[in-house]
Structure formats: C-alpha cells, structure tokens
Amino acid sequence: MIPSQFDYVKPASVDEAVQALVQAGEDAKILAGGQSLLPVLRLRLAAPSVVIDLGGIPELRTISDDGDRIAIGAMAPHHDVLRDDLVKQHVALLAQATSTVADPQVRHRGTLGGALAHADPAGDLGAVALALEAEFVIAGTSGTRTVTAADFFVDYFTTAIGEGEILTQVRFPKYTGWTSHYEKFNRTAQAWSMCAVAAALRIDGGTIAEARIGLTNMGTTPIRATGVEQALVGQSATADAVRAAAEHATEGTAAPSDADAAADYREHLARVLTGRAVLAAAG
C-alpha cells in the first residue's frame, strides 16, 4: 500500500528540526531511519500531515568518547553502532543486542535513537539502555534536557519525549572490562523477541561484583531485573547459583499474552533466558 499524502521537511540542524516540529504541531512525525515509521505509514496506521526527516543532520550520526561515557548520536544506524570500536570496547552489550535487531537491510537504515524513541516493548535496545543506565539527551525550544533511562520509558510506545522535542543523543556509561551477553528468544528469522534478556557482569576474582540485567517484552516498557542483580552479587557464576538468582527474573514484570506466547510461558522464558544470559556473560 501507499502512504497517505504528507508534506516533507528535511531540516539541516537540530534547531531547525525543533522549529519545524513546533510549527507542524501534534500532527507531525519524526522520520529517523524509517524502518518502523514507513511500514506504519504504508499500512495507514498513521497519517501525519508533515514528516520531518532528520537525515540531513550529520552530527546526529556521530559516536564519540565523552570522558566517562560513550555518546551516540540518535541517528547512528544500527549497522554503525554494532561495528563501532568504542561501542565494542566500552558498551559491548549494546553491540551484541544491536546485532540481533531485525535483519541486515533494516540495520543499515534503522537507528539507535529511532528504535528507542519508538519504544516498542518487543524492541531489543530498550532493555540494554535501561540495564546500563543510559542517559537520553532531548532537545526542545528551550534547549536540551537529560533524562535517565529509568524515566525515559513511560509506557507502551510512550517515552518522556514531549511535544516539540527530539531525541538527539544517547549516552552510555563505560562498562570497560565487563562481560556481557544478549539472549534473545524468537522462533523465526527477523521476528521480534518473544522475550529476551540483556546481562552485563563485572567479575572480580571469580566472584560477581556487579550485575546489570534488563528484560525485553516482559511488560509495557523494558524492565530492570533488580532482584536478579542483587541475588547475583557476591556469588561465583556457577550454574546452580545463577539459576537460583534467575528465579527472581519475573519480579515486577507484567508479561503480555498475545499470539506469540502466553504470559506464563513468557515468565518461564524470562527465568530460563536470564540463566543462559548470565552464564554466557560469565563465560
């Protein structure tokens, strides 16, 4: 199908983009990589009057070392993120999860910021951003503000990005020397996660000193499995200890029931995949 008619704007700076967004009002849509928006437009699930393409703002694609953080432009394509040396060295979990997103064609176009702003609870990158305590830089008419990952994900397809605001950058603290793994469960190629677990560990002398665990598709937003994290700290990463800690994985979750899986099956998956993710991260 063909999208309904819209006006197209391609601003050359973030300021211009914010102005265009304010002018267009609530009927506007931001176009990042377009890999979720274009299908939605084609199926006419959305019919914006104006589409604002951020593809003309090169600085939104940069990935840089920002001291104690890695700063990733919101328009950095998945393909760039997962191959970037800074990301692989300091935020390996993000590179690992990004390599599982959709398929190569979609990873060439789709962007980190677009995926996070879209906030599909089955999307893979929200759980990583939440577990790794990323910061979101959001630009509006009165300048920029920074939102923590815990405050960014509000609800199903809903984030802290307000009207007239644009996500410009996502900053990840450095997890240099941590080990990590993203364990994704789906049944067919390029399918969304039925459930997935993001795990990062700091292991010191054979003992888990710190743990970060995020869950994908176990509620209306990504979920941080703090119960698992607490149970892991101080343990050595044996199969028994990890499985015992993984029993906490469903605490605070509200798994959906849909055509892919019933809630109780997702809860089972969350426990099993948490065990696998942590053991794989521990090596």
3-state secondary structure of 136: strand
Smallest separation, CB 184 to other proteins (Å): 13
Smallest separation, CB 6 to other proteins (Å): 6
* Nearest to other proteins of 104, 205 (CB atom): 104
Residue with tokens 């990323």: 134
Rounded Cα distance, 180 and 234, in Å: 17
How far, rounded to the nearest angstrom, does the alpha carbon of residue 257 sit from its chain's CA centroid?
A: 22
The region of 101-109, 164-172, 218-226, 243-251 touching other proteins under the rule CB under 8 A is: 101-109
* Nearest to other proteins of 29, 69 (CB atom): 29
Smallest separation, CB 82 to other proteins (Å): 12
Smallest separation, CB 192 to other proteins (Å): 11
* Nearest to other proteins of 6, 175 (CB atom): 6
Residue with tokens 């929200």: 126
Q: Is 108 in the site for other proteins (CB under 8 A)?
A: yes
Q: Is 2 in the site for other proteins (CB under 8 A)?
A: yes
The region of 38-46, 210-218, 257-265, 274-282 touching other proteins under the rule CB under 8 A is: 38-46
- CA distances 261 to 218, 219, 222, 246, 268, Å, are 11, 13, 17, 20, 11
Q: Is 57 in the site for other proteins (CB under 8 A)?
A: no
Rounded Cα distance, 199 and 211, in Å: 7
Which of residues 22, 88, 109, 235 is near other proteins by CB under 8 A? 109
Please state the φ and ψ torsions of residue 175, each to the nearest 5 degrees.
-115, 45
Please state the φ and ψ torsions of residue 119, each to the nearest 5 degrees.
60, 40
Count of residues that interact with other proteins, criterion CB under 8 A: 30
* Nearest to other proteins of 52, 208 (CB atom): 52
Query: Which 158-217 positions form the footprint of other proteins (CB under 8 A)?
Result: 189-190
Rounded Cα distance, 48 and 271, in Å: 41
Smallest separation, CB 103 to other proteins (Å): 3
Smallest separation, CB 256 to other proteins (Å): 20
How far, rounded to the nearest angstrom, does the alpha carbon of residue 187 sit from its chain's CA centroid?
A: 21
Q: Is 259 in the site for other proteins (CB under 8 A)?
A: no
Q: Is 27 in the site for other proteins (CB under 8 A)?
A: no
* Nearest to other proteins of 258, 264 (CB atom): 258
Q: Is 34 in the site for other proteins (CB under 8 A)?
A: yes
Q: Is 7 in the site for other proteins (CB under 8 A)?
A: yes
CA angle 162, 84, 180 (to 5 degrees): 85
Residue 221, classified by CB atoms within 10 Å of its CB into exposed (0-12), middle (13-18) or buried (19+), is: buried
Return the structure tokens found at 233: 């700290």
Q: What's the start-to-end Cα distance of the chain, in Å? A: 47
CB 189 within 8 A of CB 219: no
**Site residues (CB under 8 A) for other proteins?**
1-8, 10, 31, 34-35, 38-39, 41-43, 51, 53, 55, 79, 102-106, 108-109, 189-190
